[in-house]
Amino acid sequence: MSKITIAIDGFSSTGKSTVAKQIAKHLGYVYVDSGAMYRAITLYAIREGIISKANFDEKALVAHLTKIDVSFTFNSHLGYGEVYLNGINVEQDIRTLEVSGFVSKVAAISQVRSKLVAIQKQLGIHKGVVMDGRDIGTVVFPKAELKLFMIASAEKRASRRFKELIDRGDKITYDAVLKNVTERDYIDTHREDSPLVKAADAIEIDNSEMSIQEQLDHILGLIDVVLGKLHET
């Protein structure tokens, strides 16, 4: 059975990773969370004192890039790859609001993007991959057989993210999460290099009022159509 590439782009906290993991599991594909890679570099920059509320030394971060190794190691218990920064699992450490607060600025640096895009292209070289992010259908896999573009209202996204952070024990307010979501939307869509845009051939999915199961069923239907067409040719 031929394998395809599935690119999932969209705004922050639109549930891209949830559905991407479900699809990957269903099809036996590899799931890659490209945002985790930008987060890992951001974590490195915070830990090295390159980025803080008072200071963002972009030049220093670019100079450090050759010393930063970002990779994934499959966790059979979870069923997907966890992100490693210089050989250490940082899957949990990258999910804080502190990292979220800086990551869009780091992701706007062209040198950071070209380093990570090269790794991402390599990860998808054999197809059979579901990757989520902001530029997957436009830059990383412009020839992906299926491109999805996820949207939902900022309030809906903030309340989902707020619940996630509270459930894992973070002390945070809904307003702070909403502010972060809207700030990231702005930076992600206005940066010069590879801004978040819907690819011309992407299918838009507004999941504001969809359950996770409804969304999965809808997407699996789209995948069946793509695979069906592929087998006809």
Binding site for ligand DC (CB under 6 A): 12, 34-35, 38-39, 103-104, 107, 133-136, 184, 188
Query: Quick one: 29 or 102, whose CB is closer to ligand DC?
Result: 102
The CB-of-18 to ligand DC minimum distance in angstroms stands at: 11
φ and ψ of 174, to 5 deg: -60, -40
Is 47 within 8 Å of 115 (Cβ atoms)? no
The CB-of-86 to ligand DC minimum distance in angstroms stands at: 19
The CB-of-12 to ligand DC minimum distance in angstroms stands at: 5
Q: How many helices (H) and strands (E) does the chain have?
A: 8, 8
Query: Quick one: 115 or 184, whose CB is closer to ligand DC?
Result: 184
Is 61 within 8 Å of 51 (Cβ atoms)? yes
DSSP-derived letter for residue 127 is S
The CB-of-206 to ligand DC minimum distance in angstroms stands at: 18
Residue showing tokens 């789209």: 222
DSSP letters for 125-140: TTS-EEEEESSIIIII
Query: Quick one: 75 or 110, whose CB is closer to ligand DC?
Result: 110
Query: Quick one: 142 or 225, whose CB is closer to ligand DC?
Result: 142
